[in-house]
Amino acid sequence: MSVDLIQTRLIPHNMLFIIPSWGDLLGYPTLGKYVNHYVSKIQSDLVIFLTGLESSIEIEIPTEFGPELQTIYYLFGLGYYYAKFELQSGRYIIDNRQLTGLILSDFVYDHMATSKNITLENDPDVIIADKLIKVPLDLSNKSITQRTFIKGSLMRNLFIPHKDIFLELMETIKKHNSYQLGQGNILLSTHREYFNKILISTKMMEDKREKFMESTAGINEIIIGVDNHLKKTFTPSERQKINDKILSLKEIYSTLEFDPMYLYSIIDNASKALTDESYRPHREKDVSISRKTPKESVLISAENRLNSIIPWPEKFKRNTKEELEQSAIYKEFKEHPPIIKTPKSTVKDLTTSTEFGKDKISEQEKFELRTQKRPSVESKPLPKPQKDDVFIILLYLKEIIEKDYDIQSIGKAFEIARDKLRKIILQSRFMWEMGKYANLYSKDEEPNLGLSQKEKNELLDKVNTWIENVIKQKDDFIKKK
């Protein structure tokens, strides 16, 4: 898509800029993948930036209705994308990505700038909201009372709950091989052409690039393209200014002393170490006047758009976290269906006589007898399905069968599943089959006996067939749409 550059400028702005949840800001476009498996749950997806420069650029986009003006916002500095997430296995994984810049489309910026403030702070320079936290590093123009309030708010809402992440970031900055611009910039993007992607450079070392390009939680894709984008957007002197600022921040923060038990000291000490060139726009003395606007003044370069709000485009559908978590289970099962292995006899002599010299029984027949024997199991409470969803209910049944519950509990599980499905769908063949199994196993009078291996394998095969049918029906429905 051709883009005409209308305006560009770089404004010094030293601040701490936080997006508490990247997925929440973007409307959860994806939970992402990790080592070729779908992420099932994201516990944390924090974006941190220690910025040095910002920019606001208007671009003209040709559309079928004529040229359309759009604004793109840029932040440059030392950034960090941190994700703590879960795969189907149930164990939590922590992953991160170093960043040197952030691209915000106008509709994302406006959604962020109109988010609800979570403190009583009434200072246009400091924002602590549900979609972002922004605080300038130089607070020398604030009164002692204001600074005390800001300090307390940041400790409660940021530094205490995310202490480990900040310590991890500061440790990463200290490493000599971090934030090396010889390998190019790394930008986290919400640009319309690369929404929810990380742009990297071809300069990145081959082995490191391959590792960095591996997918991670919450991000659609990691792609090469940052060099072309920056060349198209900024002049050579501006690109040099961006790189110089990032390297300067790297040098300052890598040697910055701070108290790990009092992380606000990062702001205190950084404000002393940095030469503050940040431009401060003229503010009304009466703060209440400026607060009549619908948006927070997040970036200095966005001051002229305080009364303009771009709606969220339909193209980038917003989802809920719960919807994606449910969808991830479906996708994971479809791409990685479980394999049920029936134990096989490895005995070579299949005609060995029995101990007492009676009728000869083959080892294969002995094996079949063993697999039909019901083992003793411990009695344990039966859980219930987490959600009233066909797919979730069938996975619940599968889990109960696999986890060695007693036969009466398994019968009860089939009954629960059938009754829940009746509320969701009018009728299905497997609901009738569920009723059959519920009656069969619920009436079993022998306590503390589990399914035989043969029964377990047959039931798992049956449930997997039901799940595959549900997947096929869902795929057929999507195709028709």
Buried b (16+ CB within 10 A) or exposed e, 138-171: bbeebeeebeebbbebbeebbbeebeebbebbbe
The CA-atom distances, in angstroms, between 121 and each of 68, 133, 267, 387 are 37, 12, 18, 39
Final residue belonging to a domain, choices 274, 299, 320: 320
Q: Give the residue, 342 or 328, on which the prediction is more confident.
A: 328
Q: Is the pLDDT of residue 345 over 50?
A: no
pLDDT at residue 361, as a whole number: 41
Range of the domain at 100: 4-320
Q: Which helix (H) or strand (E) covers residue 60, if one does? A: strand 41-63
Specify the DSSP element, H or E, that contains 18.
strand 11-19
Kindly provide the b/e burial profile for residues 298-330, where b requires at least 16 CB atoms within 10 angstroms of the residue's own CB.
bbbbbeebeeebeeeeeebeeeeeeebbbbbbb
Q: Is the pLDDT of residue 387 over 70?
A: yes
Distance CA 27, CA 30 (A): 9
In a domain, 351, yes or no: no
Copy the structure tokens of residue 445: 């009078």
Q: Is residue 312 located within the same domain as residue 401?
A: no
* Residue 406 DSSP class: B
**Mean per-residue pLDDT for 129-153?**
92
Q: Are residues 316 and 391 in the same domain?
A: no
Strands 194-200 and 221-224: parallel
- The two most distant CA atoms of the chain are separated, in Å, by 105
DSSP notation for 188-200: EEEETTEEEEEEE
Hunting for tokens 């007492």 — which residue is that? 356
Q: What pLDDT is stored for residue 6 in this prediction? A: 43
Tell me the per-residue pLDDT of 153-202, one tens digit each, with 9 for 90 and over: 999 999 999 999 999 999 999 999 899 888 899 999 999 999 999 999 98
Task: Tell me what pLDDT residue 14 has.
Answer: 95
DSSP 119-181: S----TT-EEBSS-EEEES--TTS-HHHHHHHHHHHIIIIITTTHHHHHHHHHHHHSTTSS-G
Q: Is residue 440 part of a domain?
A: yes
Statement: residue 341 has pLDDT above 60 = no
Domain finish residue from 320, 337, 362: 320
Shared-domain flag, residues 314 and 386: no
CB 49 within 8 A of CB 17: yes
Residue 215 lies in a domain: yes
Please enumerate, as own/partner, the contacts of 414-420 that have beta carbons within 8 Å and a separation of 24 or more: 414/438, 414/441, 415/442, 416/382, 416/384, 416/385, 417/385, 417/393, 420/385, 420/388, 420/393
Take residue 354 and report the two structure tokens written for it.
């029995």
With respect to residue 245, please indicate whether it lies within any of the assigned structural domains.
yes
pLDDT tens figures, 274-307: 865 555 554 444 443 344 567 888 998 888 888 8
- List residues bridging with 63 in a β-sheet: 66
Per the domain annotation, does 185 fall within a domain?
A: yes
Say whether both 73 and 209 belong to one domain.
yes
CA dist 70 and 4 (Å) reads 11
415 with 293, same domain: the answer is no
Same domain, 62 and 202: yes
Whether the predicted pLDDT of 354 surpasses 80: no
Element spanning 33, H or E: strand 33-34
One domain, residues 435 and 311: no
Q: Which two tokens stand for residue 456?
A: 């377990």
What pLDDT is recorded for position 332?
61
- Indicate whether 247 belongs to any domain: yes
Residue 209 is predicted with a pLDDT of 52
If asked whether residues 232 and 91 sit together in one domain, one would say yes
Query: Are 140 and 266 found together in one domain?
Result: yes
Does 205 map to a domain?
A: yes
Q: How far is CA 410 from CA 316, 393, 415, in A?
A: 43, 14, 9
59 and 152 both lie in a single domain = yes
Q: Does one domain contain both 23 and 145?
A: yes
Question: How many domains is the chain built from?
Answer: 2
pTM tops 0.85:
no
C-alpha to C-alpha distances, 41 to 179, 338, 446, nearest whole angstrom: 29, 20, 40
The answer to whether residues 309 and 417 belong to one domain is no
> Which pLDDT does position 344 carry in this prediction?
46
**Over the stretch 124-139, which tens digit does the pLDDT of each residue have?**
789 999 999 999 999 9
